[in-house]
Structures are given as C-alpha cells and as structure tokens.
Amino acid sequence: MTITTDAVADLRAALHGPDSVLTDPDVLRTVSRDEADLCRAGVPLAVVRPRDTAEVAAVVRVAAAHGLPVVPQGARTGLVGGANAADGAVVVSLARLKRISVDAAGGLAVVGAGVVNADLGRAVALEGLDYPPDPGSWESSTIGGNVATNAGGMCCVKYGVTGRYVAGLTVVLADGAVLRCGGRGPARTAGYDLTGLFTGSEGTLGIITEIVLRLRPARCPDRTLAAVFPTVAAACRAVTGIMGAGLAPSLLELMDQTHLRAVEDYRPSGLDTGAGALLLAASDAGSAAQGELDAMAAYCERAGAGELYVATDRVEAGALLAARRLAHPAMEHLAARRFPGGGGGLVVDDVAVPRDRVVDLVEGIARIAERHDVLVGVVGHAGAGNLHPVIVVDRSDPAVLARGREVFDEIMRLGLALGGTCTGEHGVGLLKRDWLARELGPVGVRVHQAVKRALDPAGILNPGKVVPPAHNGS
C-alpha cells in the first residue's frame, strides 16, 4: 500500500459521508485551479468536503501526518492563482460551511467560510442590516475567500474592504489545532492582532472556517449618476476632483471603452460604445444624496464629461451596476472571440495607487499597451485608486503571451513607482508573489518568511503562494 493510498484511507476515516473524499480524475481537474490565467496548477491527490471546523481540523491532521500540502478553496473565483492546487495536495473545499447566524441587536453575523457573499447580504437585509463589501463576484464568491484575500468591491470607496468588518475568526492551524481570535464581545486590544494577521493571508497561515462579521444599519437607497467621457484620463480627473472635494460617494466606478464594447457585445444594454470611458457615481446620503450627486456631476462636467445621466429609480440604477458587474465575463467573451480555438485568455492586474496619481496610472497603462501592441482594458474602483488593467492574450501564441507578461510586469512596476501597491483586493497568490517581494523590500520579506515558518514550519499550507522566497530587487 502506497503512502498516498494510506492518506486517502485516513482521510475517508476522518470524514463522514461517501462524497466527502473525492479522487475521481475528472473531479480533480475541475478543482485544480481558480480563474487566473497563466498560473500553474498541479494535480491534487484528493478533494475533501468537510462539514464543520472539527472535520477541517481532522483533515489537516491527516495531511500533516503524511506530509501532504493542503490547499483551501472557496468558490475558486480568485484571479491570482491563490486557490490553485499543488501536486499531490489535499484540496479542502469549504463550500459546505454555510451556517449564517445573525445577531441583530449586536450588529454581528457569525458565518461559515462557505457562505456566498450575496446570500449573506440577503440574510442580513431581512434584519434591517447591511454587510457592505461587495466584490464583483458577490453572487458566487464566498466570505471565506473574501476574508482570505481581504476583498473590496464597488462600495469600498466609502465603506472600505472586508478586513474592516472582521471582528473574529476561527482558524485551523497547520497542526490541526483550532484557534479562535477576536470574537463577538468588545473590541480586543490585548496581545497581537491575530484576526488582522489571518485576514488577507490567503490560506498560507491557517484555514479560516468561521468568521464573525460586523454589520451596519441598512443604507439609504443609492441615487446613481452615469457620466460619459472622451478619455479615461478625463474620467480620472473627475474622480480626483470629487474625492479631493471631500465628497463621499457610495460608489465611483470606471469602465473604459474596451470594457463598454465588450459588455455591450456580451449582453446588449444600450451602453455608449463610442465613449472613451464611463464613470458610475452614487450617493446613499439620504436627503443629502441629490445635493451630493449634483456636486459630483459638476466635477464631471469640469473634467469634460459629454453626457450625464441620472438613474430615476432602482431598476435603472440596477441596470447600470449590472453592466459593471459583467466586466469580467464580458472580457472573457472578448478574448475568446479575439483568439478563437481556446487560446484567448486574460491576465487581470490589480493596482492601487494614491488617488492623485490615478491619471498618471491610466496614461502610463495606455503607453505600455501601445508600445507592446497588446489590448488592455481598464476597469475598477477609481474612487479608491484601485484599477484593474485587463490584458488580453493568446495562450497558444508564445510571442503574444510573452508580450502580455511584459505588459503585466510594466504595469506592476508603474504602480509601485507611483507609490502604490501590487494588489488592491485580489490578493497575491502565485501571480504577484515576486512583485510583493519588490514592494516589501528585504526586511519585509524576512518578516513574512518568519511568520510563515512560525505558524507553518513544515510549509504544508497553500505552499508557494504569497510569501516571497527572497527579495529580487526592483
């Protein structure tokens, strides 16, 4: 009997149910990777489907005993290879951890890592409460994955990213021990901020199984404005003016012409495909919302907006937001049509810069794309300085692929040079590990490595992700 056969037998003994440990090759292929193009994925030994924290801990103890890598997964909507399997790994699907318990009086929710973001939003809305983070994949991405990458969303300009709402975590450590940090009581200030440490760690320090989340009172309905601009830079100048004036939009989203055309081709909705860019702005300030929207409209006009449109009801506002949420699948559709035969792919950058450098960023991206003759669309949370340049590549053509990689690297380099960061919300995963090293510098890399060794000395938790092996210069 081989070691791997022993490990599978031990996993089956640790879990309940005939479908809790799967080894069918077709199943393993489907769970081997997330949505990131160009990131290597290995062939896992098995995928396990635990039902609770105790079963996750049992799985990790088995894996540790056999020296097997452990890769946690949610919905695999990530864009940096953070959920990609390692060869011979035990993939831990957290999809069954779907418990939601809302404490309306305390303004908290206790949720399993497998709860889908939109399902949580609907559950707390029934109690007159709101959970603000809303990544583009909110109808499919899980709260565990959102916490693991510290995801943002379209409302991050006003309400911040996921970490702001994480009050406590239950985490399975590399030896199978269960750690509970933070919690439902008063804010904890004693000791190290372990809750903050695990938030954004992408499964490399422990497997998050349960989350205590802070909730807000339900927001007032948004009033939404769409502004059409001749160029992306003009739209970004409007963003700079709006945010510099101290206005507090609940949403300030950018779509360039490439995305407008891709979305209209994918799902026609009357978007102006001749526009250089579309800026979506919203206010949820209640009785003050119209005044705030008028002020934002004025900044858009000064920046050169050729047309302004105010949604008159929730249906119209929802249609505008739906177009924004279609950005990624629409670009996948564009890539497939541009490079037929299965070669079309996307490399999604995720750069955040100071808001007063957003214009420099978008102008620099345009120059990089032109220089390498590569199509790059720009979309993102412009109000937060977080943009997603989307690079369209042909995976079957080594020359096109190489140019795409060069474009990705040059955009990363530009973002750091502008005082930004290599990730605003997507995480690091495999795709940006080397760029994290450049951003951190040698001392930052050493500290990351020390934390990883302390919590995962055998290196079994999501190996190869996030933590840079060494500083490689800039």
Q: Where are the domains of the chain?
A: 3-93, 100-217, 223-417, 433-461+469-474
* DSSP structure string for 61-106: HHHHHHT--EEEESS---SSSTTPPPTT-EEEE-TT---EEEETTT
Residue of 213, 88, 87, 195 lying closest to 142 (CA atoms):
213
pLDDT of residue 264: 96
Class of the domain covering 3-93? alpha beta
The Cα–Cα gap between 429 and 78 comes to: 9
**DSSP line for 346-407:** EEE--EE--GGGHHHHHHHHHHHHHHHT--EEEEEEGGGTEEEEEEEEETT-HHHHHHHHHH
CA distance 320 to 314: 10
Contact between 425 and 151 (Cβ < 8 Å)? yes
Pairing of strands 21-22, 46-48: antiparallel
Residue type, 125: A
Degrees, nearest 5: CA angle 110-78-199 = 40
Does the domain at 100-217 match CATH 3.30.43.10? Answer given as: no
- CATH fold group of domain 223-417: Vanillyl-alcohol Oxidase; Chain A, domain 3 (3.40.462)
- Structure token digits, residue 470: 């060494």
pLDDT value for 20: 97
Q: Model pTM greater than 0.85?
A: yes
Instruction: Kindly report the number of other CB atoms within 10 A of residue 264's CB atom.
Output: 17
Listed residue (319, 299, 303) closest to 311, CA to CA: 319
Matching CATH topology for 100-217 and 223-417?
no
Residue type, 55: E
- At residue 4, the pLDDT reads 76
Closest C-alpha to 456, from 66, 60, 156, 149: 60
Residue 136: predicted pLDDT: 83
Rounded Cα gap, residues 450 and 467, in angstroms: 10
**Four-CA torsion 98, 104, 106, 108, nearest 10 degrees:** 30
* Cα–Cα dist 336/354, whole Å: 34
* Secondary structure string (H, E, C) spanning 192-228: CCHHHHHCCCCCCCCEEEEEEEECEECCCCCEEEEEE
* 100-103 and 216-217 strand pairing: unpaired
Helix (H) or strand (E) holding 112: strand 108-112
Per-residue pLDDT of the chain (474 residues; tens, 9 = 90+): 456 789 999 999 999 888 999 999 999 999 999 999 879 999 999 999 999 999 999 999 999 999 999 999 999 999 999 999 999 999 999 999 999 999 999 999 999 999 999 999 999 999 999 999 989 888 999 999 999 999 998 999 999 999 999 999 999 999 999 999 998 877 777 899 999 999 999 999 999 999 999 999 999 988 999 999 999 999 999 999 999 999 999 999 999 999 999 999 999 989 999 999 999 999 999 999 999 999 999 999 999 999 999 987 788 888 888 899 999 999 999 999 999 888 999 999 999 999 999 999 999 999 999 999 999 999 999 999 999 999 999 999 999 999 999 999 999 999 999 999 999 999 999 999 999 999 999 999 999 999 999 999 999 999 999 997 754 444
Q: Compute CA 146 distance to the chain's CA centroid, rounded to the nearest angstrom.
A: 7
Tell me the C-alpha distance between 281 and 254, whole Å: 9
Please report the pLDDT score of residue 473 as a whole number.
43
Tokens representing residue 131 in the block: 């959970």
Q: Cα–Cα–Cα angle for 96, 98, 99, nearest 5°? A: 135
Write the CB contacts of 258 (distance below 8 Å, at least 6 apart in sequence).
331, 334, 375, 376, 377, 378, 390
Helix, strand, coil distribution of the chain in percent, nearest 5 = 40, 20, 40
- 166-172, strands of its sheet edge to edge: 100-103, 108-112, 207-214, 166-172, 178-182
